[in-house]
Structure 1
Amino acid sequence: MTRIRSMVAAVAVTAALAGCSTSGTATPASAPTTTEVTVTTERNQPTSTTPTTTSSAAEPYVVGSTRVTGSTVRATYDVAIPQLSGGNPAVTAEFNESMRAALQDQIDNDYGNDFALSDGYSTGETHVGRRVISAEQITGWIAVPPGAHGNSLIATVTIDADTAQPISLGDAFTDLDAGLARLSDRAAAILPTTRAGESFERSGIEPTVANFANWTASPEGMKIHFGDYQVGSYSIGLVTITVPWTDLSDVLAPGMQAVLSS
């Protein structure tokens, strides 16, 4: 199975790296090597050796993590990524492979520097619904040798638990341009209530796939995850907003709201 498809169709990766040149030629990376597997709860806290589901809604899936370590010519990495066990084997396999592909995309990217990837400065969320599995992965990036400070990389994966297929923005909306325009409009209304404030960076919410690529599903609405510098200065950190499904119902593809809000 080609995991690059997941990057284009469903796995969104955004890197906002201040002061880093993007010129140069990327060096092929070796595949990540799993060195440790730890089953955890949805909050990524260690549990006993007996698998425990995260909630009644999450059964029979168990949210855990796998630590992936290794190095390439340009990068070293030691990152814990979300993984599933139990449930529909096809869904579990698609989710797990997509999360690995998301990390591999970060490893393979040419940031213009040698770099190291580690666990993020904050923890992403994993949502297990009746019909959807959706996760945010936050990875810490730092140049080697270190610069002024590190940055956060965001990757998201959303899997249809009915079909075991990734869900992209193009899948979510009947008309992608109309969907992006609605997300941009709602972000403009919501961001002033966040750390970004009234003076948020408007270029970060222009109706493009790149600006809204990092999204996850929740019962309340579509969560949009903005990376470092996307909607404001580095000091505000990462910003997440939730656009209620009621604000998107007329632009979502038929039946998609029932899946994504489960």
Structure 2
Amino acid sequence: MKTVVVIGALATAAVLTACGPDESPATRVSETPAAVTSTGASTTVAESPQASAFTATTVTMVGDYYRVDVPQVDGGTYVARFGFNRAIQDGVLQWIGHNSLPMDSVSSRDSQMVRIGTKVLSGHLIVTVYGDGAAHPNSFDLAQVTDIDTGKSITLSDLFTDLQQGLTTLSTQAEALVQQNPKATGYSKSLLTPVAEHFQTWVATPDGMRIYLGEIASHAAGNIDVTVPWSALDGVLKPGMRAVVSS
């Protein structure tokens, strides 16, 4: 089962000291430019031509019992860089603080994604934890979307004029897309009902809202994601929001 963390403006005091991304915290032991793909922790980056002021980086957060590579950005404006980087770091810290993981006996594999638009930054992180003797690994799934102008997180409530109408549209669109995915045969309809919990892990792409639904079918099928076109959400998006999230 996946663990989903809602990313927001957090001030977390957990296992690791939470410092700002532009300080020199103990959390940051290495920082390297993200490539399109890299060995080990896989990082992908998609960038619009106008957004060259930002670059994608990977920062390793370490403590006594864990080591997690997280997607970050460098350059650009301070408010956007700080808002995006801090939200992801705080999300990881919240997960660590809420889970007593036997990290001395597990290994983790990270998958990362960063997208840099002209008005929005998006990041996604999956940490897969393999425990000794466990039949299946557990995974932690985190996504962050930041408005470049304000540095604030864009939430589901920020997207839609009416949250419940937006969730209803997402539910209908997502289920139609899941039905087209042969990997999702036997998916659980109860995990696609119009409640925020089911759709809160998402990133903004030019084509649409990419939603990470998790293991809605079976563990063997893995994590399922769908991309709902922005055109399918035009009727429920707040005025001007499509121009931001599709940039």
The two structures have a TM-score, normalised by structure 2, of 0.83
Partner of 2:241: 256
Give the superposition deviation at 1:125.
1.9
Distance (Å, rounded) in 2 between the aligned partners of 1:255 and 1:142: 43
Instruction: Select 1:36's aligned residue among 15, 20, 30.
Output: 30
1:206-231 per-residue CA deviation (whole Å, 9 max, x = no partner) reads: 1111111101000000000022x3x1
Partner of 1:203: 190
The two structures have a TM-score, normalised by structure 1, of 0.78
Partner of 2:22: none
Partner of 2:89: 100
Give the superposition deviation at 1:33.
2.2
Relative to structure 1, is the Cα distance of residues 55 and 172 closer, same or farther in structure 2, using a 3 angstrom cutoff? closer
Confirm whether residue 82 of structure 1 aligns to residue 64 of structure 2: no
Is the contact between residue 91 and residue 161 of structure 1 (CA under 8 Å) also seen in structure 2? yes
214-223 vs 194-203, which moves further: 194-203
Aligned sequence identity (%): 29
Instruction: Select 2:51's aligned residue among 37, 48, 58.
Output: 58
Other structure's SS at 1:164 match: coil
Give the superposition deviation at 1:142.
3.3
Instruction: Select 2:139's aligned residue among 152, 155, 172.
Output: 152
Give the aligned residue type for 1:99. Answer: I
Distance (Å, rounded) in 2 between the aligned partners of 1:99 and 1:30: 14
Partner of 1:179: 166
Give the superposition deviation at 1:146.
3.9
Distance (Å, rounded) in 2 between the aligned partners of 1:54 and 1:245: 18
Is the contact between residue 7 and residue 143 of structure 2 (CA under 8 Å) also seen in structure 1? no
Is the contact between residue 7 and residue 88 of structure 2 (CA under 8 Å) also seen in structure 1? no
Instruction: Select 1:91's aligned residue among 74, 80, 102.
Output: 80
RMSD: 2.5
Aligned length: 226
Is the contact between residue 33 and residue 68 of structure 1 (CA under 8 Å) also seen in structure 2? yes
1:125-159 per-residue CA deviation (whole Å, 9 max, x = no partner) reads: 2111010001111111234x441121221100000
1:169-217 per-residue CA deviation (whole Å, 9 max, x = no partner) reads: 1111111111111110011100022244342111111111111110100
Extract unaligned runs of 5+ from structure 2.
18-25, 41-45
124-133 vs 215-224, which moves further: 124-133
